[in-house]
Chain A
């Protein structure tokens, strides 16, 4: 049986843990070739690699900072040499940092914006050269529900993700004529990352607000991502998909 992403060449930034890892695994299950980047957590990256191998996928793994332009160029260059090109880029890498404005210092702002906004710009720009040349490709930017709704969220995080929304819209318009689709996936509270750390009353508040009355799973979001980057999705670009349980 052929997978929905059979032979598709996918790169996921920030793929060593959490939602990024789940995306890598979901793509591999559908027959994709998978590469991912990570910054610091070598043990997590090793774990993701082992899980991907267990699925019959031999991943490419790159350590570096997504906000480093040389790193972006090197990763895309290496994959182009190894695979002959790149079909899918998922800009997933993010920073987990919860502070109110009163405690938000300039370095915090810079780190967040660099990782969540400059990084997608750098990796998109690096990947788009090949995609435009091939007149085919898809970029999926991972946002967050808090940039789509007026909810409590760290200001730098919401701002970075809202900026990513603007980048998505503009790029979708700019590269659509080359057959490249750019979409945004902005999940709600999940069973990974911050969703695991929040105090029960916070999770309960989310459940109370969500039409489905629960938080989501990374696996659910990854299934949505598979559709968005697959060839089944032929007409959607510049879209914002918000799987959040109905906030």
Chain B
């Protein structure tokens, strides 16, 4: 027995019924989530290697921002009433739209379900309805993330992009494995013209690791996709899935590549989750599981300290254990990037992220930068002068003396001057914690207006949908036993 940190509700790894669970700190400072299923016995999983970090991070309160509309009544209890229900704490900040079940890969670590036989593609009218629901909920929709499957396999994919653009969505991201992009230069060119962004899975530079994680040697194709996106000015987010002992030692190299490639805007490091058609069967001992703080420490080790765990803040828009975010200022003279937290208080960066999952120009950001410049100016620290010089160059790009640039050009100049590193920890049955789920702001959006937090969708809901499963599961068969029992009572 360890010291109790908090109780929660989790899921049975086998039958996915809801179970009371305890999160405890053990003597070795690790944090464990423990639960017991009446049918499948005691289960426990390590959530963190650092109890102090876990407790301090969990203590950060997200900014309360409940959804305006909660179409699902609270009936069975979390996580069986998605969504959103009245108990949900966050509105959707990252609308995820799954537009196809088709995929051209079968990755061993794939954490979603896809289906290539009897492929399903969302129709454009359904997407228009989703956009309308989102507008009703949010007022404006500034970001949409298309996923699948592989979204580029949708035969009408470009129409989706155009519909999003015409609806005023200014940040359209497409999750992709990159293979289609690597072979289709005109498509990449068109993405650049439309201002679309690609979220490219990129787990490793090592071909053998690639085979283990992605089932094939894909590094060359992904690098080719990166070259093309750079050529056509398509912004990219790299999405490496961190797996302990497999690719966590490569995180520094991946970050360095991200810093060097001008069109790579973000790196979003995921911790591996054992869900979906691949993940459920991958690594049965689940020895590759890695916690968020371990990823932060791998980052510090492999970047030799130019990015450390102190440079990250939680997202105010989500549960603090779901997102850790660092922003870095690039040095045009080739020096190491400067994390924002080295020249502004972490609280200031946190406050600047209050409205969105990513930094956008805002009064709060301007004030924080102004404060930072004043502080750097009066500082005697050796790095202050370099940082001030970088900020001066940034202002020069934003407000060039010799010409008038458009607002959009200024925004792009600002984006090109900085990069962001996110660590995003998804949950599977083992790590499932409804406290985190209730603060999720990433939701899969459906045409009926429901928005289901992505972790709940991947663990519980997607496998029930005929669009993605040749043999869809039913509630209670391998998930949601509680839901089945409540339904039986109601009947």
Contacts and interface: CB of A to CB of B under 8 A. Distances in A.
A105 to B, nearest CB: 8
Nearest to A95: B401
B389 to A, nearest CB: 9
Contacts of A97: 399, 401
Nearest to B393: A103
Interface string A90-106: 00000111111111000
A103 B392 contact: yes
A198 B407 contact: yes
A41 B373 contact: no
Interface string B352-368: 00000000011100000
Contact of B407 (A18, A98, A192, A197): A197
Contact of A96 (B377, B404, B407): B404
The winner among A40, A41, A95, A98 for most chain B CB atoms within 10 A is: A98
A47 B370 CA distance: 37
Nearest to A17: B404
B487 interface: no
A100 B373 contact: yes
A193 interface: yes
B373 A205 contact: no
Given A96-B399, A199-B411, A201-B362, A103 B404 contact: no
Nearest to A192: B404
B391 A199 contact: no
B405 interface: yes
Interface in A58-98: 95-98
Contacts of B407: 196-200
Contacts of B363: 201, 205
Nearest to A200: B407
A201 B361 contact: yes
A205 B401 CA distance: 24
A197 B404 CA distance: 7
Nearest to B400: A96
B410 A197 contact: yes
Contact of A100 (B361, B370, B400, B411): B370
Contacts of A193: 404
B399 A102 contact: no
B410 A99 contact: no
Interface in A162-204: 192-194, 196-201
A102 B371 CA distance: 10
Contacts of A199: 361, 407, 410-411
A246 B363 CA distance: 22
A122 to B, nearest CB: 20
A197 B406 contact: yes
A193 B402 CA distance: 11
Nearest to A18: B404
Contacts of B410: 197, 199
B395 interface: yes
Contact of B376 (A102, A196, A200): A102
Interface residues of B, number: 24
A178 B362 CA distance: 51
B152 to A, nearest CB: 31
Given A196-B407, A201-B362, A201-B363, A99 B392 contact: yes
B144 interface: no
Interface string A106-121: 0000000000000000
Contact of B374 (A17, A40, A99, A100): A100
Contacts of B403: 41
B388 interface: yes
Contact of A196 (B361, B400, B404): B404
Contacts of B370: 100
A100 to B, nearest CB: 5
Given A102-B374, A103-B373, A197 B392 contact: no
Nearest to B372: A102
A17 B363 CA distance: 29
Nearest to A99: B395
A196 B388 CA distance: 26
Interface string B403-421: 1111100110000000000
Nearest to B410: A197
B99 to A, nearest CB: 29
The winner among B362, B399, B402, B406 for most chain A CB atoms within 10 A is: B399
A192 B403 CA distance: 11
Contacts of A96: 399-401, 404
The winner among B363, B391, B401, B411 for most chain A CB atoms within 10 A is: B401
Contact of B399 (A40, A41, A197, A201): A197
B392 A196 contact: no
Given A197-B407, A201-B363, A205-B363, A103 B388 contact: yes
A242 B362 CA distance: 28
B398 interface: yes
B373 A98 contact: no
B158 to A, nearest CB: 28
A197 B370 CA distance: 18
Contact of B373 (A102, A196, A200): A102
A52 B465 CA distance: 66
A17 B402 CA distance: 11
B43 to A, nearest CB: 48
Contact of A102 (B377, B398, B401): B377
B404 A102 contact: no
Nearest to B364: A201
27 contacts: A41-B402, A41-B403, A96-B400, A97-B399, A97-B401, A98-B398, A99-B392, A100-B373, A101-B377, A102-B373, A102-B377, A102-B388, A103-B377, A103-B388, A103-B391, A194-B399, A196-B406, A196-B407, A197-B399, A197-B404, A197-B405, A197-B407, A199-B407, A199-B410, A200-B361, A201-B363, A205-B363
Leading 5 A-B pairs by shortest Cβ distance:
A102-B377, A199-B361, A98-B399, A102-B373, A103-B392
Interface of A: 17-18, 40-41, 95-103, 192-194, 196-201, 205
Given A197-B398, A199-B361, A200-B361, 13 more contacts: A17-B404, A40-B402, A96-B401, A97-B399, A98-B399, A99-B395, A103-B388, A103-B391, A196-B405, A197-B399, A197-B405, A197-B410, A201-B362
